[in-house]
Amino acid sequence: MGRKTKVAITVGAAGLTAWAASKVVAKPKPRSPKQSLEFKNPVVLSNRGGMINAPEHTLAAFSKSAELGVNGFAIDIRLTKDEEIIVFHDETADRTTDFSGKISEYTLDELKNADAGYMFVDDEGNYPYRDKGEKIITLRELLHAYPQMLIAINLKDSPDTYEGSLMPSKLWRLLEETGAEDRVIVISSFDEQTDRFNLYAQNKVATGAGNDEVRKAYAAYSSKFGHLYNPRADLFCIPEKLGVFPMNTESFINFLSSLNVAVYYNDVKDKETIERLLSIGAAGFVTDVPELVTEIIQHHSD
C-alpha cells in the first residue's frame, strides 16, 4: 500500500469519525409552531392579489382573489417619504401607476392621488382599470379589510437604505397595534431584514427564509451534515430550482418538515407540476393563477 493511499484512508477515516461524533452531539432544534402556518390543507396565496385578473396590489385584485376562496395574499411592502407602509412591489412608481420616481420620494397623500390601474392590460389588450379609481393602499387598510386572511409580507426595501433600516420596527409596531401577529408571515430576500424584525417580534410572528438561509439549508441537506442545521425561519417560499439545484424533491421537503419548516412553492402555473408538488408534500403555493391552484387543491383533498 502506497503512502498516498494510506493518507487518503486516514483522512477518510478521520472524516467519518467526525461525522459520527457530530451525529451523537448534535441536536437539531425544530421551529416552534406558529398559528399562521397551522392549516389542514395546502395553502393558496394569490401573488400581489392575483396579477392576471386585476392590477396588482389593489383592492380590485384582492377582492377577486378572495372570491375564489384563497387562504390569503402574498404582498410586497415599501415605506413612503412620511414613513407609512404601503402595499407596493416596485421601487419606482412608474410601472403600475401614472406617477414616476421612487416611492420613498412621495408622501402617502401624494401617492393616494396616483392611478394604480394605469398600466394594467387585460388579455384582449384593453385597459379596463385605467381611470377607474384604483388606488395604492396601505398595509393597515389591507389588514382591516381582510381580517380572516393569511398575509405573507415581503419587505422589499434593502436594509442598506434609510427606508429599509426603518421597516422592521415600523412593521412590528403596526402588527402589534392591529393584533395581526398570528395571521401574517414576514419574509425578505435579505435575511438581515427578518433578523432585525425578529429583534422586535421575539418569535411571536412566523418568518420566511431569505436567499442566504435557503442556500445554507440546501447545502446542509445535500451534505452528510444535515443534522447540524438549525433553521432560522418557519417557512421556505421557494422556486422549483435555485440555479442548478432542485428544490422540488420529496426528500428536501421532508428534511425541512422534520424541523417544522413549511415549504411553499412560487411561480408554478401548470396543473401537472402543482399536482406533483402536492403529492410530495408541498404545504402551499404563492401563485398568479389562484383559481387554477385552488381547484386542484380542492380536487386533491377530496
First-last CA distance in the chain: 63
- Of 71, 31, 52, 74, the closest CA to residue 237 belongs to 74
- What SS3 string covers 59-117? HHHHHHHHHCCCCEEEEEEEECCCCCEEECCCCECCCCCCCCCEHHHCCHHHHCCCCCC
Amino acid, res. 22 = S
- Residue where the block lists cell 419548516: 261
In the chain, the domains with their CATH numbers are 30-301 (3.20.20.190)
Ranges of the chain whose pLDDT falls below 70: 1-27, 51, 302
Cell of 250: 420529496
Q: Quick one: DSSP state of residue 208? A: B
CA distance 223 to 209: 20
pLDDT value of position 300 = 77
Q: Is 65 exposed, middle or buried (0-12, 13-18, 19+ CB in 10 A)?
A: buried
pLDDT value of position 95 = 87
SS3 call for 126: coil
What are the angstrom distances between the C-alpha of 127 and each of 103, 118, 274?
23, 8, 31
CB atoms < 10 A from the CB of 169, how many?
13
CA distance 204 to 35: 10
Amino acid, res. 259 = L
pTM of the model: 0.90
What are the angstrom distances between the C-alpha of 283 and each of 130, 131, 152, 246?
36, 39, 14, 17
What are the angstrom distances between the C-alpha of 139 and each of 16, 62, 125, 221, 256?
52, 12, 30, 36, 30
Contact between 46 and 74 under an 8 Å Cβ cutoff? The reply is yes
Q: Is 7 exposed, middle or buried (0-12, 13-18, 19+ CB in 10 A)?
A: exposed
- Residue where the block lists cell 377582492: 63
What kind and span of H or E run contains 279? helix 271-279
